[in-house]
Structure 1
């Protein structure tokens, strides 16, 4: 495990600082956003959950990338550009992943999106799309 962590640090140190910062922002954003998404109550409709989670993804990725870039040599403009790039990339990458999953494995896209949590846990989904 220690060797794997050392290899990760070496890989991040060997790449351009902006790319490392964007990847760090993306990884932190994915972890935080998925955690928040699955802790949202089932009463939050997918039409509300999607914009909220995209906003969270943008903000978390931008802040994490900016924090990773601040220590590197570069001015405020480069930090801001990297933060914007990471913020835009995070929800865009998730949308591309969802599109690919919906094409080949729709069930995996549903699980990853958090829209079928109630069905998996046995809870009843409520909302306009549910027929009672």
Structure 2
């Protein structure tokens, strides 16, 4: 793998970040939706110490050695804080991460409103990153 393109990624089964609480009951994917999704994947292990980092990347102790990451998230969505924390942890481990927090973006904004300027900008940034990616590995 030469890179990870993470668009509004769901990374932390604990669902305990400020943005998860802020977005409770709001938007297309809120705190309850998140709990449902993680429970479908992990069952009763959701939120416990038994969750492996391959299932919930926020659980990983060491993020060194990962391929470059492009992380794209809206400022008005449940995953905002866990995605920002993930990018920070990649940088702290010496890795490469490009983080975009889209102002006012909600979960799936670019699919639901594809012609909005925010959506157009997000797709263009992703494409630019993909085009640069092979050079970053040189």
- TM interval, shorter chain, is under 0.3
Which is strand-richer, 1 or 2? 2
Which is helix-richer, 1 or 2? 1
Rg (Cα) greater in structure: 1
TM-score (norm. length: structure 2): 0.25
TM-score (norm. length: structure 1): 0.26
